[in-house]
Amino acid sequence: MNLKCTRTNARTTLLALSLSGAAALALLGGASPTSRSLSTPPANQKRLAIYDRFSVHEWEGLVCQINNVSASVNYSASSWGAPGARVNRNLTISGMLADFTGKRIFRLKGTPRLLELTDLNGRDMTSRAKVHINPQMRSMTAFTAPTGSSINQNFSVSLASFTLGANGIGRIAMEVDVEMAADIERHDFPPKVTPAMEEFAPNFVAGISRYAVSSDGALYLTLDYRIPKNDGPAPVFHTLEIIDTNGDVITATTDRKEIVTRDSTMGLVFIKGVNIGSREVASVRVTVLTDLISHTFTLEERDMPLLSE
């Protein structure tokens, strides 16, 4: 059995990418209720319009842009205090990070930052609203896997119950941090428990602590790895694949459990009862991102009235 360790440099395969045209902007708006509507307001009054404008930002083949802004105003008979209609205004700004070639491994690096959001009169729309930004650090998007023709990750800013009767958006400004793999290293372990953990990539030590196949062809496997904290590189586990004797992937996973200690990051990757049938396993392949490059996109859009039919 010929097991090998291979190394590729993603910098040499980065392709320039441009996106023609701009995405559509869908805005849901509603006029203020009249004195008549205060007594019997509609449950949900909405209007729809399309506003074709969004700037496209490109870096090393990745595309980032705001691609949708939706606003709504709903009226409800439920009220408090003096008689009248309850007005609930909401706004959602959505964006995407994408590689339309499907060749790159990347992710959103942390929570996007909302720098400014004002209406057409320059008033801060966030000052009296519940603001929520996704993804949060605790659920930071994992790295993509280059297995499709179009791969993207999404982010959003939501304002709930903001009090301004906004006439439109004067300025949106956001910063979006991204991270992309520049170097990748793959290593094939034999399909068995390894006698000791080995460092097959700089600062990445790993080994198979459990390998068993049941009588009905169910595979159970545990990969242990350790990433020491020192002045060296900080690699990232990406994928564990089970490869058969024809070179095909039986199963793959990017899920792992990590514990960060004072001097290292300890990780575990599990295969729990995957049915391999009569196929013979040739190797357990581990992919590690050994070099990452980072970039911050600055997104800005101006002068967007809330349009309605």
CA-CA-CA-CA torsion sign (96, 97, 101, 103) = negative
Quick one: pLDDT band at residue 271, thresholds 50, 70, 90? very high
Q: Distance (Å, rounded) from C-alpha 208 to C-alpha 225?
A: 9
* pLDDT greater than 90 at residue 85: no
Q: Which residue has the higher pLDDT, 79 or 123?
A: 123
Q: What is the mean pLDDT of the chain?
A: 80
C-beta of residue 301 within 8 angstroms of C-beta of residue 168: no
C-beta of residue 201 within 8 angstroms of C-beta of residue 185: yes
Q: Which residue has the higher pLDDT, 94 or 83?
A: 94
Q: Which of 55-59, 118-122, 222-226 has the lowest mean pLDDT?
A: 118-122
C-beta of residue 70 within 8 angstroms of C-beta of residue 28: yes
Distance of CA 130 to the CA centre of its chain: 22
Q: Which of 51-55, 151-155, 204-208, 211-215 has the lowest mean pLDDT?
A: 51-55
H/E element holding 298? strand 281-305
pLDDT of residue 41: 37
Report the length, in residues, of the chain.
309
pLDDT tens for each residue of 13-38? 222 222 222 322 233 333 333 333 33
Q: Which of 62-71, 215-224, 283-292 has the lowest mean pLDDT?
A: 62-71
pLDDT of residue 252: 94
Neighbours of 212 (CB within 10 A): 11
pLDDT of residue 18: 25
Averaged pLDDT, 233-251: 95
pLDDT of residue 191: 97
Quick one: pLDDT band at residue 88, thresholds 50, 70, 90? confident
Q: Which of 1-15, 136-150, 247-261 has the lowest mean pLDDT?
A: 1-15
Quick one: pLDDT band at residue 93, thresholds 50, 70, 90? very high
- Tell me the C-alpha to C-alpha distance, in Å, between residue 119 and each of 126, 297, 304: 10, 23, 9
Q: Which residue has the higher pLDDT, 166 or 177?
A: 177
pLDDT of residue 217: 92
Residue type, 35: S
Q: Which of 80-89, 239-248, 294-303 has the lowest mean pLDDT?
A: 80-89
Q: Distance (Å, rounded) from C-alpha 1 to C-alpha 17?
A: 40
| Cβ density class 92-123: b for 16+ within 10 Å, e for less | bbbbbbbbeeeebbbbbbebbebeebbbbeee
Among candidates 47, 150, 31, which has minimal Cα distance to 98? 150
pLDDT of residue 47: 35
